[in-house]
Structure 1
Amino acid sequence: MKLLLLGATGLVGSRALKLALSNDTFLEVIAPTRRVLPQSEKLVNPVNSSLEELAPILKSYKLDAVICALGTTQVKAGSKEAFRHVDYELPILFGQAARAVGVETYAVVTAMGASSASKSFYYRTKGEVEKAIQDIGFRSLTICRPSIIGGERNEARAIETAVLTLARLLAPILPKKFHVNPADVIAAALLDAVVVPKLGCHWIYADEMN
């Protein structure tokens, strides 16, 4: 099958890319990015500083499924608008473009606590993107809602590092849903969801990805 992977330079996306490239199920992995990825035999890597400009070319790839691991923080993005562009607008744009060319399977990472009614801008955005993707009408939609994501990042995030450390220290007394979710486990869940797609919309919660 041919897979579109969004967010291939991120923590979860990079793990998903590695797993997909080593999995014989995937004949080709199309991973649009803002910076060039290391070359691989099955990898197609369209590069553009504005990812949205790559959405119209999807029809040329004859895709079977989409995995969206796009995500940032407001601090890193620089503003609420820039954060929403990455975490809401791009997942929807590529989802709509993929569905328009016949793709029926989509898997996405949001966050535990995602809710369109949340007072938190972060969790409200995550909830809104879940709802908007459901409205696109994929035959199979999987939404992963991890807690704290564990793994080595390309960039330092002081607050997340502190939270990870605290979560690991408190793990024996914390409910399972608040345990650290390893990026590799989340990535594997995403791949499983598109390799063996289930009809309808399904959520994978944090306590299932420990």
Structure 2
Amino acid sequence: MSQVLITGATGLVGGYLLRMLIQERKVNYIAAPTRRPLAAMPGVFNPHAPKLSDALAQVCDPIDIVFCCLGTTRREAGSKEAFVHADYALVVDTALRAKKLGAKHLVVVSSMGANASSPFFYNKVKGKMEAALIAQKWEHLTIVRPSMLLGHRDKRRFNESIFAPLFRIFPGNWKSIHARDVARAMLKEALSPSQEGVNIIPSAKLRELARGEA
């Protein structure tokens, strides 16, 4: 049985993943710190505070597996600084807190194109986030890099509205992927890791995992 921590549970991927965790018989404890309180869910400990770091600090029980589904855009965040805080600092904070509580496996949502040397701000921040997590030397670190995400959002993102039709017809890793499939692949990899150390899973491989083909 596993004790799990998840951040980003109010987001697109995190919402699907949380519902899957609740139904998963191999999971007997779920801590889901958030800024806004979640609706009551069976078996979910939901500390909440205006600052996610404060909610995260309230998680004190031992943890085996940590899922980080945090992610926004510069437009949604409001500034470069706010984006870095959400997609870098809070991700690193999640990992450090979970490691302190005994976690051995971190599964994190990154992005296709993540590269610390990228000239593109979004990809560069994602790449630096990955590098920071790798430097923590996890026993198991699973980094998933989905393409454009499909699924219902209460507030649709501008770029998704424009480019979603194109990404549906792109091949391979560029093809858009449903957030539910990303969550399913993350859970499968968490409960049965395919390798030790760092495992970076591109979007096409996530689809295979979700369909049970890998």
TM-score normalized with structure 2 length: 0.92
For residue 209 of structure 1, what is the aligned residue in structure 2?
206
After TM superposition, give the deviation of residue 101 of structure 1 in Å.
Answer: 2.7
Distance 2:171 2:159 in 1: 21
* SS of 1:9 mapped into structure 2: coil
Distance 2:58 2:44 in 1: 16
Q: Does structure 1 conserve the Cα–Cα contact (< 8 Å) formed by 2:35 and 2:55?
A: no
> Could you tell me which amino acid in structure 2 is paired with residue 65 of structure 1?
I
For residue 187 of structure 1, what is the aligned residue in structure 2?
183
Q: Does structure 2 conserve the Cα–Cα contact (< 8 Å) formed by 1:182 and 1:209?
A: no
1:14 aligns with 2:15: yes
Gaps in structure 2 of 5+ consecutive residues? 208-214
For residue 29 of structure 2, what is the aligned residue in structure 1?
28
Gaps in structure 1 of 5+ consecutive residues? none
Distance 2:143 2:105 in 1: 11
1:124 aligns with 2:124: yes
For residue 3 of structure 2, what is the aligned residue in structure 1?
2
* Residue identity (%): 34
For residue 38 of structure 2, what is the aligned residue in structure 1?
37
TM-score normalized with structure 1 length: 0.94
Q: Does structure 1 conserve the Cα–Cα contact (< 8 Å) formed by 2:47 and 2:56?
A: no
Matches within 5 A, 1:156-171: 156-168=156-168, 171=169
After TM superposition, give the deviation of residue 159 of structure 1 in Å.
Answer: 2.2
Q: Does structure 1 conserve the Cα–Cα contact (< 8 Å) formed by 2:33 and 2:56?
A: no
Matches within 5 A, 1:58-97: 58=59, 60-97=60-97
By relative contact order (CA 8 Å, sep 6+), the higher-ranking structure is: 1
After TM superposition, give the deviation of residue 160 of structure 1 in Å.
Answer: 0.9
Q: How much is the aligned-residue C-alpha RMSD, in angstroms?
A: 1.2
> Could you tell me which amino acid in structure 2 is paired with residue 16 of structure 1?
L
Aligned pairs, number: 205
> Could you tell me which amino acid in structure 2 is paired with residue 55 of structure 1?
L
> Could you tell me which amino acid in structure 1 is paired with residue 172 of structure 2?
K
Deviates more, 1:89-98 or 1:150-159: 150-159
